[in-house]
Amino acid sequence: MPLLARKFRVARNSRLFHVLLTPLLFVILNARTDLRAADPARPLNIVFILADDLGYGDLGCYGQTRIRTPNIDRMASQGVRFTQFYAGDTVCTPSRCALMTGQHVGHCSMRANGDEKNGFHTPTVATLLKNAGYDTAIIGKWGLANEPDWASAPNKQGFDFFYGYLNNMHAHNYYPTYLWRNDRKVQLKNVVPNEGKQGQGVATVKAEYSNDLFADEAVKFIDDHKERPFFLYLPFTIPHANDEAKNAGMETPDLDGYADKNWPAPEKGYAAMVTRLDGYVGRILDRLKADGLDENTIVFFTSDNGPHKEGGQDPNFFASSGPLRGIKRDLYEGGVREPMIVRWPGHTHANTTSDFIGGFHDFLPTAVALSGAKAPLPEHLDGLNFVPAIEGRNDQQPKHDYLYWEFYEHKGSQAVRQGDWKAIRIPAFTGKIALFDLKTDLHEDHNVAGEHPDIVAKMERIMQEAHSPRESVKQ
């Protein structure tokens, strides 16, 4: 027996051995075991930042030249920028439902603004991450419930902490009289006569800007949870217009360097809102680094749908849709194709792009994969885990057979993307199908349906397959 082993064998029977080792064993056996200890190489923190009505062309890293977005551009330079990533739908509620459930809008329970009472029929990403040991928070606009006692309220859908707006209408006003902290109203210093009434919500006292409060709350959450793995969902409301106000338009505390521009007032406000959002992203990234979490956090940034034409703002002024046709409430590319930037130090390759064709319903399986959760995914998911695309392992990335959308305002519409083919049907379910080849016609100007009847027939079959009956709003 080697000398060192003989000495250890003798020592372990001695009183000195027990005096020295017993406390150490106690510490080891009683140490809190969490996901960080189980797999230190895995990103234990997931941050998902969502803009509201931000267009594909509104960021410098996607071609914008007049609006400043240095922090988001820096994030893109340090990570991967997706060029063919899509929102869940072309308006708020169904898009966010797809994000939370991993189902496309042909299957998810909320398919239009106003469907919030339908609730969720499948576990949310927050529920799954909470079950995996994550502390979960949403700070910003939920938009999937109107009251805290609804089954679809965030605290009943896997979020430990909620601060912000519950419903879409309340979120239109950037200077509300209150916000929600979990199920409790927190009164603010703002004064808004007729708050909540369409066309009347003009703040007469503007003391506290909601999105500034969200950024402050997010930084505090990171500080308070740096010892535990967390999922932080940050759906800011910028640059959505204040649709309650008659004249407020683009509500922002200041014009952030755009005041002297020879632009219409709504355009100055819109630019200032986007730059303000960029500042929030910078604060989040800087705080992660200051708290030593930079290497253990994956950060996503995107928007819920295309740019709006509301509050007096013209999306053509900044070419907010970039090279794409359409805006919010269109199922053309400009209404649903969004910026998507993912930063994951040590895993994403700096300053790269990805042409992976994916969407909001891919986030749930991706987040669960990142968490290392062992429980099976919910049945009837439409999304794919796109971690391989994030890491640049494109040969290992599964691909969608197709992406699908449906929209219920105006005449209604449906859309399918399969490969480079894009089909749009207006009115939904009954109209003729228009067909576009995105490879040669990114702006969707040339309907080639007449030249490809076989493709049109295939797209029609997909529209029938992808759509399940939509429930009426439960009363």
* pLDDT for res 237: 97
Q: Using CA atoms, how far apart are residues 294 and 284, in angstroms rounded to an integer?
A: 10
Instruction: Judge if 347 and 433 occupy the same domain.
Output: no
- Interatomic CA distance for residues 197 and 201, integer angstroms: 6
Judge contact between 435 and 423, C-beta under 8 A.
yes
Last residue of a domain, one of 345, 379, 400: 400
Q: Does 333 lie in the same domain as 428?
A: no
User: For residues 212 and 232, is the Cβ–Cβ distance under 8 A?
Assistant: no
Check whether residue 302 and residue 163 sit in a common domain. Answer: yes
Are both 316 and 454 inside the same structural domain?
no
pLDDT of residue 27 exceeding 70: no
Range of the domain at 421: 405-466
Does some domain include residue 160?
yes
Domain membership of residue 349 (yes or no) is yes
Q: Does residue 330 sit in the same domain as residue 431?
A: no
Residues 126 and 271 in one domain: yes
Residue 235, strand partner residues: 50
Residues 395 and 409 in one domain: no
User: Mean pLDDT across the stretch 254-268?
Assistant: 95
Q: Is the pLDDT of residue 199 over 70?
A: no
The answer to whether position 458 is within a domain reads yes
pLDDT at site 44: 82
Out of 347, 365, 400, a domain closes at: 400
Model pLDDT, residue 18: 38
pLDDT exceeds cutoff 90 at 99:
yes
pLDDT attached to residue 387: 97
Q: What is the CATH number of the domain that holds 414?
A: 3.30.1120.10
Domain annotation covers residue 63: yes
End-to-end CA distance of the chain: 79
Taking the C-alpha atoms of residue 390 and residue 348, their distance in angstroms, rounded to an integer, is 6
What token pair was written down for 171? 């979120």
Tell whether 13 is covered by a domain.
Answer: no
**Mean pLDDT, the chain, as a whole number?**
90
E strand segments, 292-444: 297-303, 337-343, 352-354, 358-359, 403-407, 413-418, 421-425, 433-437
Give the residue, 196 or 464, on which the prediction is more confident.
464
If asked whether residues 327 and 409 sit together in one domain, one would say no
Pairwise pLDDT comparison (5 vs 362), residue with the higher score:
362
Q: Are residues 344 and 413 both part of a single domain?
A: no
386 and 442 housed in the same domain: no
pLDDT tens column, 235-247: 999 999 987 665 5
CATH number at residue 252: 3.40.720.10
* Contact (CB, 8 A) for 237 and 250: no
Per-residue confidence at 198, pLDDT binned at 50, 70, 90? Answer: low
Residue 31 in any domain: the answer is: no
Residue 296 falls within a domain, yes or no? Answer: yes
Q: What is the pLDDT of residues 105-154, one digit of tens each?
A: 999 999 999 999 999 999 999 999 999 999 999 999 999 999 999 999 99
79 belongs to a structural domain? yes
416 and 395 co-located in one domain: no
Task: Give me the pLDDT at residue 8, please.
Answer: 33
pLDDT for 201 beyond 70: no
pLDDT for 248 equals: 63
Q: What percent of the chain stands above pLDDT 70? A: 88
Asked whether 243 and 226 are in contact (CB, 8 A), the reply is: no
Enclosing H/E stretch for 137? strand 135-141
* Averaged pLDDT, 218-230: 96
To the nearest whole percent, how much of the chain has pLDDT over 90?
82
**How many domains does the chain fold into?**
2
Q: Tell how strand 135-141 and strand 161-165 pair up.
A: parallel
Whether residue 167 sits in one domain with residue 144: yes
Q: Which of 366, 400, 434 lies at the terminal end of a domain, its last residue?
A: 400
Cβ(95)–Cβ(304) below 8 Å: yes
